[in-house]
């Protein structure tokens, strides 16, 4: 600038204009008389530099004081520059007695050059921008410590002052931009202040804003920091008020980037809000602005690392720039709102609302209707009512003139933006009878596309008009309009037909779907609906924006979620009725009196041995007919279950009785489910879950058609009281443990008469299965005070009575009864605490090598105990109540409580665990369980075959439903190594010697 002055090149001079006091023009104009030599040139340079870089409103608080930059040369400055207030609606200026129309400025503003700094050194505007940001950041740091009460006081005072200035700001906006109507801009300013205040005055934006004491969740609101607010030329004051108020409510600072053609009024609005905020206690500088907006300065503001968020309202190019700036941004999308007028619409209301909306502020609202799509049978009535209310239907020739004049080069003519219908008619030279009372120009058109420019957005009171033969045609036209430049923004329908409205909802891709209301006023919210009031309207991913709602305070806050540790809700669920003691079968079954048809699920051996006859005899005595399904195999497969479910459905039973070991009871549970809900898919039932309460696949509640009564004839599975069922895929041989509390039987009958003559092998395998249930449920991550007592009592009974029941059988009825009870008690424990990896591996080993389930558990349980018994596992199961790994302590506690040999003689937890394992191995030996896998299957499976299968079995076991509650979360390789080690007898010394 200094070199420019020395060379007598044009320089920028700041001239202050006061509409009410000519002191500014008299004082500053005298500068021209003193610029006569180099010394004064230096003084002028210093003066202009300071003013140009620092100030926009000098030494006055009057709203009408503004700043203009005039390009002057030294020669010109030797004359007095008489500067008078602006005159005329177009915002002309009087300089040296000559009216300078702003039209040229408007035209050039559309070109890239209007955003340039006319060759100004980039470091100057960078300094200006950084200083504005620094001031705002310093103020925000102080403001961030304000309480909610202090913030609300600032918010209220700022809103009041902005509202009081709504008329002067509206006049100033129209004067400066030449766009829109003063009266409508008054309404927008009113909305931006009063409506926004009333909506958000009670909203918490400081500290804890949400709290759930039960679940231990708090949401804490924190400000983002310094915001960048891009302000458009179409809504220069209302948007500025809106963004400033939101910033104040959320304890943010904001720096506004006005449009070059609307900088004076935007800055005036910002200054009013700023001064009111400071008066209420906010730190000075909490609201800032770019003094002399240009594209480069706006980009510098957006890209600054000190800016936390951009709120971009403006043209597509500016919004796109905000998103590509590298700073988080909230932007608006372009609008091309279609309004469907259905056959059943209230035509008078539809016409009135469309006129109200499309003519509001001369059509510059981006949400305003761009085309009406009217059904054929009401088309003429719609046209008639439009003309009656002041609209003018364009002829074909005038429509073509509008096409050429409104989009002369494919882009909208800036001179047409925000002009009245009469002004547009003069601008385009239309022949129709259009007066200054004409409210709207309507152009009938017949298709949508790039070759029909009138089917795109028109920021003036010109409306496209389509005639649709059917509602489907109307939907297609409306959808095409949205696709043609309005995706995500807004659409409107005038209809009372629910089916039509639903079809429209499901077809049109806009985030604001307005029914029977004016689009401009409806989209901004609160006036005609309960949408959040806003002047920044997100368009979602449809319109390539980051939000799909009306922007409000929540979008300008960071929310910290403070989560207190909470243990999950726990439960204890068993069948409503459990009958036990010898002879309880008849008493319990008599509760079915009143039922008509009972479906009995069992297996062929039990049927042949006459066990079913005992049940049928009781049912006949209470006049209940019975049908028997005795085709259940060991490890029931899906095909058998589906066959049984079909017979059950054909029979239409009102009671289901499962009689047998685990297989009939497991099969009956799934038959029950398929009977009551035939559309159930097995794939869904087998879906794995992390938490049974939050599973993806929900089991329905059962029992509406028939209750399920389970009568065990073995002692071990516990299926009579559990929500579990193990089903085999006959095609692959894979076993699927299914779990859901809906599968819990309604009644369990534990009659020891039915197990008195169990063979030894069944006694051993069932009994050791129950031992495994009790051991795994005791140390499970889901174990509770309610389940551990059951697990412990089951182990007490099994350790004492299982060897006796095995050895003496029916000769020791006490041992039979106690073992039978223990199996059910262990079932109750693991029904609620779940199991662990011993069962995970047993499921896969049993299916692969045809090993009885109880035996497979017996061969793995000691290895699992030693694996789990560590204080520092590599991984621990993730469950809130399981605070730390304590499986070693649990096992050691069991060893002492069960009085395992040597457990009380040592204080070493590891040695106590070994004592427990030795006791388990002792019991296994007493009931004829092999010591290792080689002894169990080595006569038919080679070690090489066994080892080769373990890679796949380990992976399948890892994904078994039981793995998730094991106290030590295993690696797949850990599972493989355990199964590999099980081939040979257990090595205690190796465990004792581990570090």
Catalytic positions, please?
366
Q: Are residues 780 and 737 in contact, defined by beta-carbon separation less than 8 angstroms? A: no
> 81: which 2 tokens?
């520059």
Largest CA distance in the chain: 131
Q: Give the bridge partners for 228, in sequence order.
A: 255, 310
> 710: which 2 tokens?
């389970």
Q: How far is CA 876 from the centre of its chain?
A: 29
User: Which among 438, 402, 399, 401 is positioned nearest to 422, based on CA atoms?
Assistant: 438
Tokens 């100004």, located at residue: 120
C-alpha span between 105 and 107 (Å, rounded): 5
User: Which among 9, 225, 59, 219 is positioned nearest to 134, based on CA atoms?
Assistant: 225
Q: Are residues 264 and 214 in contact, defined by beta-carbon separation less than 8 angstroms? A: no
Question: Regarding beta strands 597-601 and 655-660, do their DSSP bridges make them parallel or antiparallel, or are they unpaired?
Answer: parallel
Q: Are residues 631 and 646 in contact, defined by beta-carbon separation less than 8 angstroms? A: no
> 727: which 2 tokens?
């089903």
Report the residue count for the chain.
995
> 264: which 2 tokens?
């004076």
Q: Are residues 328 and 308 in contact, defined by beta-carbon separation less than 8 angstroms? A: yes
3-state secondary structure 599-650: EEECCHHHHHHCHHHHHHHHHHHCCCEEEEECCCCCCCEHHHHHHHHHHHHH
> 599: which 2 tokens?
């479906």
User: Which among 348, 454, 483 is positioned nearest to 475, based on CA atoms?
Assistant: 483
User: Three-state SS for 948?
Assistant: helix
User: Which among 864, 854, 857, 922 is positioned nearest to 891, based on CA atoms?
Assistant: 864
Nearest-Å Rg of the Cα atoms of the chain is: 42
Q: Are residues 464 and 484 in contact, defined by beta-carbon separation less than 8 angstroms? A: no
What torsion, rounded to 10 degrees, do the Cα atoms 127, 24, 280, 144 define? 0
User: Which among 664, 669, 663 is positioned nearest to 682, based on CA atoms?
Assistant: 669
C-alpha span between 190 and 197 (Å, rounded): 10
Q: Are residues 489 and 334 in contact, defined by beta-carbon separation less than 8 angstroms? A: yes
Q: How many CA atoms lie within 13 A of 391 on its CB side?
A: 27
C-alpha span between 529 and 831 (Å, rounded): 52
The answer for residues whose C-beta is within 8 angstroms of residue 151's C-beta and 6 or more apart is 205, 206, 248, 249, 251
C-alpha span between 173 and 239 (Å, rounded): 12
Q: Provide the H-helix boundaries in 407-453.
A: 421-428
User: Three-state SS for 439?
Assistant: coil
User: Which among 220, 105, 82, 205 is positioned nearest to 149, based on CA atoms?
Assistant: 205
User: Which among 770, 773, 751 is positioned nearest to 762, based on CA atoms?
Assistant: 770
Q: Phi-psi category of 88—alpha, beta or left, where left has phi over 0 and alpha has psi -120 to 50?
A: left
> 153: which 2 tokens?
């006081």
| DSSP secondary structure, 642-701, as one string | HHHHHHHHHHT-SEEEEEESHHHHHHHHHHHHHHH-TT--HHHHT---SSGGG-SSPPPP
């Amino acid at each position: 600038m200094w070199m420019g002055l020395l060379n007598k090149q044009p320089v920028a001079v700041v001239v202050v204009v006061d509409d009410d006091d000519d002191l500014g023009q008299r004082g500053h104009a005298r500068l021209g008389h003193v610029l006569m030599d180099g010394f004064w040139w230096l003084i002028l340079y210093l003066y202009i530099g300071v003013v140009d870089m620092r100030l926009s409103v000098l030494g006055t608080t009057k709203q009408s004081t503004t700043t203009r930059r005039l390009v002057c040369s030294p020669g010109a400055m030797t004359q007095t520059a008489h500067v008078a207030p602006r005159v005329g609606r177009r915002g002309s200026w009087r300089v040296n007695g000559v009216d300078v129309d702003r039209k040229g400025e408007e035209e050039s503003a559309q070109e890239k050059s209007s955003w340039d700094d006319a060759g100004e050194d980039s470091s100057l505007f960078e300094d200006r921008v950084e200083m504005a940001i620094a001031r705002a950041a310093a103020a925000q740091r102080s403001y961030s410590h304000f309480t909610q009460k202090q913030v609300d006081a600032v918010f209220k005072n700022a809103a009041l002052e902005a509202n009081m200035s709504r008329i002067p700001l509206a006049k100033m906006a129209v004067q400066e931009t030449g766009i829109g109507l003063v009266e409508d801009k008054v309404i927008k300013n009113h909305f931006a202040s009063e409506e926004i205040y009333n909506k958000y005055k009670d909203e918490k934006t400081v500290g804890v804003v949400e709290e759930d004491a039960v679940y231990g969740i708090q949401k804490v609101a924190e400000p983002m920091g310094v915001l960048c607010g891009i302000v458009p030329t179409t809504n220069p004051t209302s948007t500025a008020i809106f963004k400033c108020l939101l910033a104040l409510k959320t304890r943010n600072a904001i720096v506004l980037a006005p449009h070059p053609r609307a900088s004076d009024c935007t800055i005036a609005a910002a200054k009013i809000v700023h001064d009111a905020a400071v008066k209420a206690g906010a730190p000075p500088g909490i609201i800032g602005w770019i003094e002399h907006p240009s594209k480069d300065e706006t980009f510098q503001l957006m890209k600054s690392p000190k800016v936390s968020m951009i709120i971009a309202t403006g043209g597509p190019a500016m919004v796109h720039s905000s998103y590509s700036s590298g700073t988080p941004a909230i932007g608006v999308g372009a609008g091309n709102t279609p309004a469907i007028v259905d056959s059943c619409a209230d035509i008078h209301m539809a016409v009135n609302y469309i006129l109200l909306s499309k003519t509001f502020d001369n059509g510059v609202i981006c949400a305003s209707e761009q085309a009406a799509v009217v059904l054929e049978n009401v088309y003429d009535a719609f046209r008639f009512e439009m003309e009656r209310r002041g609209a003018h239907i364009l002829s074909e020739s005038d429509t073509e003139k509008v096409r050429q004049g409104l989009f002369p080069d494919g882009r909208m003519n800036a001179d047409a933006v925000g002009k009245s219908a009469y002004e547009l008619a003069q601008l385009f030279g239309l022949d129709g009878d259009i007066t200054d009372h004409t409210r709207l120009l309507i152009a009938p058109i017949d298709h949508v596309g790039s070759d029909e420019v009138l089917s795109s957005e028109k920021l003036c009171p010109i409306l496209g008009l389509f005639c649709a033969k059917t509602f489907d045609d109307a939907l297609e036209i409306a959808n095409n309009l949205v696709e043609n430049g309005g995706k995500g923004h807004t659409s409107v329908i005038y209809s009372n037909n629910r089916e039509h409205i639903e079809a429209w909802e499901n077809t049109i891709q806009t985030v604001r779907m307005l029914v029977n209301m004016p689009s401009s006023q409806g989209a901004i919210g609160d006036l005609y609906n309960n949408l959040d009031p806003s002047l920044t309207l997100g368009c979602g991913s449809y319109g390539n924006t980051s939000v799909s709602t009306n922007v409000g305070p929540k979008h300008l806050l960071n929310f910290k979620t403070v989560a207190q540790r909470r243990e999950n809700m726990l439960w204890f669920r068993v069948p409503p009725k459990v009958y036990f003691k010898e002879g309880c079968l008849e008493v319990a079954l008599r509760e079915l009196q009143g039922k008509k048809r009972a479906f009995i699920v069992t297996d062929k051996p039990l049927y042949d041995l006459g066990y079913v006859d005992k049940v049928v005899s009781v049912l006949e005595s209470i006049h209940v007919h019975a049908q028997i399904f005795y085709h259940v195999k060991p490890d029931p497969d899906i095909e058998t279950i589906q066959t049984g479910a079909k017979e059950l459905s054909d029979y239409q039973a009102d009671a289901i009785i499962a009689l047998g070991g685990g297989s009939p009871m497991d099969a009956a549970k799934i038959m029950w489910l398929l009977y009551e809900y035939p559309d159930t898919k097995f794939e869904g039932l087998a879906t794995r879950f992390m938490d049974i309460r939050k599973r993806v696949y929900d089991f329905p509640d059962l029992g509406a058609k028939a209750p399920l009564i389970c009568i065990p004839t073995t002692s071990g599975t516990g299926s009579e009281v559990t929500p579990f069922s193990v089903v085999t895929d006959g095609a692959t041989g894979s076993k699927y443990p299914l779990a859901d509390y809906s599968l819990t039987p309604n009644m369990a009958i534990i009659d020891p008469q039915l197990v008195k003559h169990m063979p030894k092998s069944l006694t051993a395998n069932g009994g050791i299965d129950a031992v495994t249930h009790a051991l795994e449920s005791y140390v499970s991550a889901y174990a509770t005070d309610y389940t551990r007592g059951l697990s412990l009592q089951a182990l007490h009974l099994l350790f004492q009575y299982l060897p006796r029941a095995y050895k003496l059988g029916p000769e020791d009825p006490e041992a039979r009864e106690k073992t039978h009870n223990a199996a059910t008690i262990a079932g109750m424990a693991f029904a609620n605490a779940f199991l662990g990896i011993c069962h995970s591996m047993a499921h896969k080993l049993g299916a692969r090598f045809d090993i009885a389930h109880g035996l497979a558990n017996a061969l793995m349980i000691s290895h699992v105990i030693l694996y789990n018994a560590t204080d520092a596992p590599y991984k621990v199961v993730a469950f809130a109540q399981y605070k730390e790994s304590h499986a070693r302590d649990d096992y050691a506690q069991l060893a002492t409580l069960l009085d395992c040999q040597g457990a009380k003689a040592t204080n070493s937890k590891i040695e106590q665990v070994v004592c427990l394992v030795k006791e388990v191995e002792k019991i296994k030996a007493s009931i004829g369980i092999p010591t290792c896998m080689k002894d169990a299957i080595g006569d038919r499976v080679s070690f090489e075959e066994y080892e080769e299968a373990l890679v796949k079995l380990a992976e399948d076991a890892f994904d078994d439903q039981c793995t998730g509650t094991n106290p030590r979360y295993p690696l797949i390789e850990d599972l493989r190594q355990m199964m590999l080690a099980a081939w040979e007898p257990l090595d205690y010394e190796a465990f004792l010697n581990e570090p």
